[in-house]
Amino acid sequence: MESSMWFVFVVILVMSSCVQGQLKAGFYSSLCPRAEAIVRSTVEAHSNKDPTILAGLLRLHFHDCFVQGCDGSVLITGSSAEMNAPPNLGLRGLM
């Protein structure tokens, strides 16, 4: 168990050095001051109904950010969208 936790820690550490995201706390404070509170309350409400959704959101973030940066492209719908790619078919937290 401890070795698998170390493996997960190392993988996250290595991946975090590759991420080029520019989003930070307060990013939307001038455009939408309540954005962070809205997201937090929505995630909390859904996680109270289904605690496993948190892991789904983490996987969604991974699939969006791992390939070409965190651009939200996995959220776009359409017949040839990234959302419909085989690795993304099982993603949760999209709706």
Q: In this predicted model, what pLDDT tens digit does every residue of 75-95 receive, in sequence order?
A: 777 777 777 777 777 777 665
pLDDT computed for residue 27 by the predictor: 84
Inside any domain, residue 81: yes
Give the annotated binding-site residues for Ca(2+).
64, 67, 69, 71, 73, 82
Burial class (CB within 10 angstroms; exposed 0-12, middle 13-18, buried 19+) of 5:
exposed
Inside any domain, residue 36: no
Inside any domain, residue 66: yes
Q: What are the DSSP calls for 21-48, one per residue? A: ----TTTTTTT-TTHHHHHHHHHHHHHH
Q: Which residue has the higher pLDDT, 59 or 70?
A: 59
Catalytic center residues = 63
Domain of residue 91, residue span? 52-95
Inside any domain, residue 9: no
* Distance between first and last Cα of the chain: 33
Write the pLDDT tens digit of every residue in 38-56: 989 998 998 999 988 888 8
The neighbour count for residue 28, using CB atoms within 10 Å, is: 14
Inside any domain, residue 77: yes
Inside any domain, residue 78: yes
Count of domains for the chain: 1
Inside any domain, residue 84: yes
